[in-house]
């Protein structure tokens, strides 16, 4: 769990940085199979480009980092895919998916969501049990990320590859075309960034040191209340 967590984090950061560099080379997005400077864009990021052939309205171009960023982007993507395969195998064969990711019967209520959110805002110190498990908000968001966003980001990435779409045309056509896949890829990336921001915020609010210690060493430290209870017992 810990190894795949940190490998996924490193791969995601590499993908994010290189993805921004790739976006700068052509900050215009389209819908369909074909899109270029002669095609009306669906929308445009109002930023300078790293290519002078792309009309941006700016009188200068950014340094072209498209070469190394594409190579690293593909390498990081394969690291993410292979790490994801190992993680999914662990989820299925260890029972972790059923025990710790699917919300329990008690957690499937609106009250459970609102109560847990209130506890985060009030900075309640997590218990040892919470450090080794996930609450309802975490379980729900993790399931969406694992089974919706990550598969979609990989699918849209493959749909932008001419080699893949030539061998498997449905990979791109089911998404509406190569340019449609690129546009969807962008919005899924934004969703993953939002998840990362919320995830880190929730970790900070619920005890950053304790959470980080648990994810790095696998050991949770008892809270002051639990230490007192243990001593009394």
Q: Are residues 68 and 103 in the same domain?
A: no
Residues 21 and 117 in one domain: no
Task: Based on the fold, state whether residues 49 and 117 are members of the same structural domain.
Answer: no
Say whether both 105 and 162 belong to one domain. Answer: yes
Q: How many domains in the chain?
A: 2
Looking at the fold, whether 118 and 228 belong to one and the same domain comes out as yes
Q: What is the mean pLDDT of residues 16-44?
A: 95
Render the chain in DSSP notation, one character per residue. -HHHHHHHHHHHHHHHHHHHHHHHH--EE-SSS---TTS--SEE--S--SSTTS--S-SS-----HHHHHHHHHHHHHHHHHHHHHHHHHHHHHSHIIIIISPPTTTSSHHHHHHHHHHHHTTPPPPHHHHTS--HHHHHHHHHIIIIIHHHHHHHHHHT-HHHHHH-THHHHTTTSHHHHHHHHHHHHHHHHHHHHHHHHHHHHTTHHHHHHHHHHS--PPPHHHHHHHHH-
The domain in which residue 15 lies consists of 1-73
Choosing from 73, 108, 133, the residue where a domain stops is: 73
Domain membership of residue 40 (yes or no) is yes
Task: Quote the percentage of the chain above a pLDDT of 70.
Answer: 80
131 plus 59 within the same structural domain:
no
Residues 101 and 156 in one domain: yes
Q: Is there a single domain that holds both residue 139 and residue 233?
A: yes
- Of the listed ranges 35-39, 43-47, 215-219, the one predicted with least confidence: 215-219
86 assigned to some structural domain: no
Which of 39, 73, 107 is the endpoint of a domain? 73
Which comes out higher in pLDDT, residue 23 or 210? 23
**Residue 231 binned pLDDT confidence (cut-offs 50, 70, 90):** very low
Tell me, yes or no, whether 64 and 116 share the same domain: no
pTM, to two decimals? 0.82
* pLDDT score of 228: 45
More confident residue, 228 or 142: 142
Q: Do residue 16 and residue 48 come from a single domain?
A: yes
């Amino acid at each position: 769990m810990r190894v795949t967590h940190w490998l996924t984090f490193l791969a995601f950061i590499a993908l994010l940085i290189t993805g921004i560099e790739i976006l700068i080379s052509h900050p215009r997005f389209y819908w369909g199979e074909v899109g270029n400077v002669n095609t009306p864009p669906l929308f445009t990021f109002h930023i300078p480009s790293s290519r002078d052939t792309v009309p941006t309205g700016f009188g200068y171009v950014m340094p072209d980092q498209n070469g190394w960023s594409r190579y690293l982007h593909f390498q990081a993507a394969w690291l993410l895919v292979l790490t994801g395969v190992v993680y999914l195998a662990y989820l299925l064969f260890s029972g972790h998916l059923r025990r710790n990711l699917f919300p329990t019967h008690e957690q499937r209520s609106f009250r459970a969501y609102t109560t847990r959110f209130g506890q985060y805002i009030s900075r309640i110190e997590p218990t040892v049990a919470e450090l080794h498990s996930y609450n309802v908000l975490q379980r729900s968001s993790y399931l969406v990320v694992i089974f919706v966003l990550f598969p979609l980001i990989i699918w849209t990435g493959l749909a932008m590859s001419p080699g893949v779409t030539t061998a498997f045309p449905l990979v791109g056509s089911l998404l509406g075309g190569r340019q449609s896949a690129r546009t969807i890829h962008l919005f899924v990336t934004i969703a993953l960034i939002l998840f990362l921001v919320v995830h880190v915020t929730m970790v900070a609010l619920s005890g950053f040191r304790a959470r980080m210690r648990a994810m790095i060493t696998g050991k949770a430290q008892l809270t002051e209340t639990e230490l007192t209870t243990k001593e009394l017992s």
